[in-house]
Structure 1
Amino acid sequence: MPNSRRSRVATDLYLKTVTITHRKLLDLSGGRVGTRFKKMPTLALTTKGRRTGLPRIVILTVPIVENGSYLIVASRGGDDISPDWFHNLCADPEVEVSFQHGATQPMTAHVLTPHERDRKWPQVLAAYPGYGTYQKRTTRQIPLVLLDPHG
């Protein structure tokens, strides 16, 4: 297996393990532990698998919360590929979100345009400077996604 493929498989396994562990921590503590990570709130994002149609849940940090909307970062730690959840919501932007282990609500995902991203990126870096390090690790422009409530 080539190194890049091996690295991607290892990253996939790591990210899946972190998500499963984080979800269990949230559930076992009733949301008292795990609703913040790296000083940012967290949310559970449920997308529909673009190939399987099955629900896929991932725990993500939220660097920007504004008026009931959440801005999330498709960084995958600076990998050269975007995370699966990003590809899933591009295929079907109708998602479900549980913010800080609260009630699940339907939302619509909107990938920011390059201009919108440029305006929001400084706020993302202010919330967590590590995103700047992730951006330096990759040649792709890390996408930002706005999750808006229905209605």
Structure 2
Amino acid sequence: MLRLRFLKENHISISLISVILGLSGCVTSTDGIQKSQDQSRALSGERTKMGQSYNLNADCTAATIPKVRLVQAPAHGSVNFVSEGVYSNYKESQRVKCNSRKSPGVSEYYSSQTGYFGKDMYKVRVSYGEGTVKDVTVNINVIKN
């Protein structure tokens, strides 16, 4: 299942879609790697959070810290990964209580080249350290600033 969040940045709503560990909606390939695609928007030249990865125990402590690496760089920008506190978005009852506080995770930030607008895309691989591996293709509509 994909999760849709809305953030308010510079007076424009930016939708973020990110994949969450343990939820269905990803396609698992024959090699066991889950694959998904996200759709997002960003303002030209501005740093925009595209998603985040985390893996929490039932008591809200970090089960593992996900490792995120760039598989394919965007043609018209750059991606940075930042280890920081993130708010989880679990739907299942056991970890819902974790959603109200920050937990260790990795955030993904995209910045387009200044003045560029149009389509861009990048791919990441997320390894959760307990056997789950996900490849995510992030499709971005870069909007004039």
Work out whether the TM-score is over 0.5.
no
Q: TM-score, normalised by structure 2?
A: 0.32
Larger RCO: Structure 1 or Structure 2 (Cα < 8 Å, ≥ 6 residues apart)?
Answer: 2
Q: TM-score, normalised by structure 1?
A: 0.31
Which structure has more helix as a fraction of its residues? 1
